[in-house]
């Protein structure tokens, strides 16, 4: 029986766990290492929680309420201006109708707000798809909207309620939009929403 020559490569035996010349490398994975790295596509994505869907619906509802409120604002503009003049103490005998007719609603502002509402809806769709930047944008814009409603919207409720049916409806829409915005912001950050956005 001959002893293998340790310096002769042809007489050396392959050692288990290490690739040797002439042997496929994948057939001998090193101990403690997987044969192939897991594909990133195989990682399980977090399913969209119900709170995100609820937040999306609240954002869309708030946008619709805002749009209706803008339209009502155009319809009640003259009545608001007349009531405001009376509340501010218009002089006796003043021709209020002539003053109101000489003024006009801000159509440019109305068009600008329509553009904002359209962008608002587009960002809401991105948020529902898992875009965290969209959630941050909505949170910032929603917070600003809440401040504007609390400062401006609530302040004119008395004026709106004093001009009749359309004014009362417009005032109620202000209150509804306030509630919708609060709910939409809260539900974006609760009920597993953060894990969902992190996974995307």
Is residue 96 within 8 A of residue 83, CB to CB? The reply is no
Is residue 157 within 8 A of residue 171, CB to CB? The reply is yes
Does this model's pTM top 0.85? Answer: no
List average pLDDT for each run of 10 residues in the chain, which is 200 residues long. Answer: 56 53 48 46 71 96 93 82 71 59 69 91 95 96 90 81 86 92 95 88
Distance CA 166, CA 160 (A): 8
Domain ranges of the chain: 50-199
| Residue partners of 170: CB distance under 8 A and separation at least 6 | 69, 72, 73, 76, 160
Distance CA 125, CA 130 (A): 9
What pLDDT score was predicted for residue 134? 96
What pLDDT score was predicted for residue 41? 43
What pLDDT score was predicted for residue 37? 45
């Amino acid at each position: 029986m001959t002893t293998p020559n340790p310096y002769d490569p042809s007489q050396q035996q392959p050692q288990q766990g290490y690739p040797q010349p002439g042997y496929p490398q994948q057939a001998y994975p090193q101990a403690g290492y997987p044969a192939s790295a897991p594909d990133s596509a195989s990682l399980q994505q977090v399913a969209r929680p119900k709170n995100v869907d609820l937040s999306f619906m609240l954002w869309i509802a708030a946008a619709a309420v805002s749009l209706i409120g803008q339209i009502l604002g155009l319809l009640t503009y003259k009545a608001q201006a007349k009531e405001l003049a009376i509340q501010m103490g218009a002089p006796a005998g003043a021709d209020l109708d002539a003053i109101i007719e000489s003024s006009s609603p801000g159509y440019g502002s109305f068009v600008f707000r329509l553009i904002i509402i359209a962008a608002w809806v587009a960002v809401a769709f991105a948020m529902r798809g898992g875009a965290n930047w969209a959630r941050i944008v909505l949170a910032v814009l929603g917070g600003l909207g809440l401040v504007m409603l609390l400062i401006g919207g609530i302040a004119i409720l008395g004026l709106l309620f004093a001009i009749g049916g359309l004014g009362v409806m417009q005032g109620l829409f202000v209150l509804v939009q306030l509630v919708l915005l609060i709910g939409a912001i809260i539900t974006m950050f609760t009920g597993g929403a953060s894990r969902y956005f992190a996974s995307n």
